[in-house]
Amino acid sequence: MKKINLVILFSGNGKNMENIIFKLHKKQFQILGHCVEICVRAALSNKKNAYGLKRLENLNTQYYEKIDSIILEHANFANREEFDRQLANVLEKYKPDLVVLAGFMRILSPFFVNQFQIINIHPSLLPKYKGAHAIKDSFESKDREVGVSVHWVDEGLDSGRIILQASRLRQEDEDFEFFENQIHKIEYDLYPQAIIKAIEEGLKS
């Protein structure tokens, strides 16, 4: 059996992280003829008050081997490069096959991006509506077709090659709260699928 190690990075609520752990952690999949077990080795937040840390604490009651919970606050570093170098040092001991960004509200430096295979989820149909306000921008656009993208992380802003996308057609009378909830539902379905596809790409290379 082949083990695939994941490390998840998050900054806030942690719902995507929780969903990934529920659906993938310690589970086995047949990928390209390989029996693969996915293991979330650690989850790291750059904010000490992120609610996702509480989610992780609750999740860890369900597993014999605990998922390491790490806090590395970017505010304690002089600049982005210093933070990213320390972040890379922390992650290196887990030997991650894939670093999964799940609401990690940091733009990563070229140094970090070149150290790991990294994927990110973005709540728009890229290349539309890049950046931190994608749901709001998508909602205000009045586009009929809206959705979510999972992409490889490169040195640009939400510019990496797309792994998977999923969309829905919205109705004219949707308010923002309903719209946002529907986008999140797509995320929770799409991200585990995209992680499997990213692992598949890794096994091919």
Known catalytic residues are 122
DSSP 127: T
Q: Which of 158, 159, 155, 163 is nearest to 113 (CA)?
A: 155
Q: Which of 67, 76, 78, 68 is nearest to 47 (CA)?
A: 76
Q: Which residue has the tokens 């992380």?
A: 153
Beta strand 34-45 with 68-71: parallel, antiparallel or unpaired?
parallel
| Distances 15 to 12, 54, 55, 102, 145 between C-alpha atoms, Å | 9, 11, 8, 8, 24
* Dihedral-angle region of residue 125 (phi above 0 means left; psi in -120 to 50 means alpha; beta otherwise): beta
